[in-house]
Structure 1
């Protein structure tokens, strides 16, 4: 019987942990490489590697990638899985073997290329995302697709909730892929459709900022969810103050106020939106710290004349 194919995993942090645990339990992993991780994560993975007799190497920056090919040649894996590995692999590394490198992208390809597809699908109010398994080439997220494995985005999913769900889903997807590789070297795949492709750069302030005059209530809620906890909330201006809105829900009550003004408050701070709906802020961050809407209201004597 042919020996079980061995997999080297390149990862970037906690998102890969569940997949690493499952692949290790099924005895697929032969080595782990981590790029740009925190000291806590690096130490945890190194201990895990020592306990299980895996190879281990840290790649803290792009310069260290020059050492990767020599390390891979020494380990001699059958395949290399990449899970949130932060650095682009050069041709010198990919030349280890054609269709040996498989990336697991936490978003559907080719529509959601880029470093943060979880943020983008939530902001864009998608109802479904995916883990995309694809062969790697020398450009980010452009290699031939093996499959997109879908997962439903549920109402109220935040960046944090969806990340956890995708991490758990990824573990099973990676295991299924490892099992598939045991039965042949010719894995079905197809080129990406460039007419449907889009690359999203890492979000900046313009992407995380609430424009009260141009965004609907639903768009604002989606942005808030997409920024929680990654950006510590969506950036906004309220009462002339820069804040971050961490948690809010749709308040489907009409109003005649200007967008971005406070309509009323109870245990929530209810803000007018341009589509005549409101959002109800529950938790926010201001200069004084993270607080509930009620705590924020107590700090603002200017709210005395607003209905509650």
Structure 2
């Protein structure tokens, strides 16, 4: 395939504008190109953003990818230089779309822990907010859950709202506390259900050890009563349920080990989440004191 030319780039931009004229996605696209050209976004980051912007336009997405051939980043940048000369975007708009320092920190944090999908989710949420597909509350609810255990990222995320009015910032802080409280409550319920389920398995296992021919009560065999197990293991939960039905005496010990490990994992996470909640509440109190003192 021949390398795209400058004329191809100009033609493609015109084509995009024709299809997205009047749609904020066109401006978002231009800002993404600007950030990429100036080194604020990698090829992968740019592709993620554009895939979200062009999700309803397969032809535009296919055309865009022609300008980003694998292992030819420098060639792509030379082509994009023409795009930027023909499409001017203000630096203020760019800053509103992406705070590259914050995104780079998020990317580094989750790349290290092999959770890069969280970073990609943040990019998509920011685009949805800019497109006004999601309001502030909806974005915050999703992002605060993604950032459980990372109070510093929550604090930096809220900087995106620094220039907005005081009511908006207060709403963000209230949403933050509410979302985290709800999340903690859900986790407590989940942990309680898991511990109850483990106890029931231990009881049944003891009965089976005493008498391998004993029948398990029908209510316990119902899939609805194994929902807790399904939640933790998705499709594997169904496989284990089938194994339990086929041969309970053989399957129960393995199931018990798996659930006990899951319980320990949740308990460790709860400890981390509680520490995180304390930090978040501290931030909330500090911000409230600053506003009262007239600092904010």
Q: TM-score, normalised by structure 2?
A: 0.29
Q: TM-score, normalised by structure 1?
A: 0.28
**Which has the larger share of helix?**
2
Q: Higher Cα Rg: structure 1 or 2?
A: 2
Q: Whose strand fraction is larger, Structure 1's or Structure 2's?
A: 1
